[in-house]
Amino acid sequence: MSSEVQEQENGASNNVEEVVSPEMLIKHPLQNEWALWFYKNDRTKSWEENLMEIVRVNTVEDFWALYNHLEVVSKIPLGCDYAMFKHGIKPMWEDTRNKQGGRWLLNLQKSQRNTELNNYWLEILLCMIGEAFDIASDDVNGSVVQIRNKGDKLAVWTADVKHYDAIMKIGKTVKERLNLHPRTSIGYEAHADTQIKTGSVAKCRYTL
């Protein structure tokens, strides 16, 4: 066998080894395990019956596999929600890890559903799984996006309304990462206030 042919075969062998290298198969773990929930607007069922946990992810690769096969949020039916929460926390006020907390809320116009909404939702998800809120990431419980006839809502839920510094860090990061216009404000509502609100607007504890 000529040295040239041997070199070619060795090169091919090395290429095969590179393709099946274990390093290529290792997934990148997330700091937390996250669960995706879907709320279906079925009036024949109770609120809790309509809320379903779809899947959990704990690696970067699993997240993208999920996101790429998921219906984009702008296409889900009116009255439905997506929610992504740390595993063990349900996307409801009554959950013990949500009771003392609240949410940063961004209200969107219907016209934004087919323009900004999908990018906003994805950016929030990436902030959460990537722990982009730094030390305040521990205070992030999850996020909810709601598709409604009058206008959609995007919220980031936090663990405790008393953790002012963490809340403000989370809110400022959301505004920066979504590249919101300086005149676009987001308000922070305590879940306790939202539950007892009068009319359609809950009291905002903080505004950015």
List the strands of the sheet with 206-207, edge to edge.
Answer: 51-59, 29-39, 81-86, 140-146, 153-158, 102-107, 187-190, 206-207
pLDDT given for residue 48 in this prediction: 87
Domain range holding 194? 27-207
| Mean of pLDDT values over 144-160 | 97
Domain membership of residue 10 (yes or no) is no
pTM for the full predicted model: 0.85
Domain membership of residue 176 (yes or no) is yes
Percent of the chain past pLDDT 90, that is, above it, reads 73
Q: Count structural domains, the chain.
A: 1
Domain membership of residue 15 (yes or no) is no
Domain membership of residue 65 (yes or no) is yes
pLDDT given for residue 20 in this prediction: 46
- Per the model's pLDDT, the better-predicted residue between 102 and 24 turns out to be 102
User: Is 58 in contact with 30 (CB distance < 8 Å)?
Assistant: yes
Domain membership of residue 7 (yes or no) is no
pLDDT class for 70, splitting at 50, 70, 90? Answer: very high
pLDDT class for 160, splitting at 50, 70, 90? Answer: very high
User: What percent helix, strand, coil does the chain show, rounded to 5?
Assistant: 40, 25, 40
Instruction: Report the range out of 161-170, 175-184, 199-208 with the highest average pLDDT.
Output: 161-170
Domain membership of residue 5 (yes or no) is no
Domain membership of residue 3 (yes or no) is no
pLDDT given for residue 8 in this prediction: 46
pLDDT score of 158 more than 70: yes
| Mean pLDDT value across the chain | 88
| Mean of pLDDT values over 71-94 | 96
How many other C-beta atoms lie within 10 A of the C-beta of residue 161?
18
Burial of 170 (0-12, 13-18, 19+ CB in 10 A): buried
Domain membership of residue 6 (yes or no) is no
At 4-30, the pLDDT tens digits run: 444 444 444 444 444 545 655 788 999
Q: List the CATH number of the domain containing 191.
A: 3.30.760.10
